[in-house]
Amino acid sequence: EAQVTQNPRYLITVTGKKLTVTCSQNMNHEYMSWYRQDPGLGLRQIYYSMNVEVTDKGDVPEGYKVSRKEKRNFPLILESPSPNQTSLYFCASSLRLAGYQETQYFGPGTRLLVL
C-alpha cells in the first residue's frame, strides 16, 4: 500500500530534550516536506527536500533541522525543543513533474507537546 508514515504519532517531552520525528514514504517520491499545523494558521512549511541531499527552508524553519540521506526518509529534528514548538506536524511527499507541483500525500501527523 502506497503511504507516508510518521513516528511517533504522539510525543510529550520537556524543553531542551532533543527529539527526532521520522517520516518515510514508499512511493519513490522525490519531493518531501514538513509542515506544522496550528489553529487559525493553517499548514506552514518548515523544510522541504527536492531530492536526496537537497533540502531547503520553508516559511518557519527556526528551531528545526532535517536531513535527506535516503530517498524514502526525511526525519525532522528538534535539537532543543521549546514550548512554542508544541504543534501538530505533518510530513508529505510527492512526485516532481517538470513545471508543476504534484499531488502531495500527507502522513498521519505527529502531535507534539513540549513542556
Partner 1 sequence: GENVEQHPSTLSVQEGDSAVIKCTYSDSASNYFPWYKQELGKRPQLIIDIRSNVGEKKDQRIAVTLNKTAKHFSLHITETQPEDSAVYFCAASQPFSSGSARQLTFGSGTQLTVLP
Residues lying near partner 1 in the complex (CB under 8 A) are found at 33, 35, 40-45, 48, 50, 56, 58-59, 90, 96-101, 103-104, 106-109
CB of 110 to partner 1, least distance (A): 11
Burial 95-108 (b: 16+ CB within 10 A, else e): eeeeeeeeebbebe
- The residues near 72 (Cβ < 8 Å, ≥ 6 apart) are 24, 25, 26, 28
Nearer to partner 1, 82 or 101 (CB): 101
Q: Which three cell numbers stand for residue 81?
A: 525543543
CB of 77 to partner 1, least distance (A): 20
Closest CA to 55 of 41, 37, 73, 43: 73
Nearer to partner 1, 63 or 109 (CB): 109
CB of 99 to partner 1, least distance (A): 5
CB of 8 to partner 1, least distance (A): 15
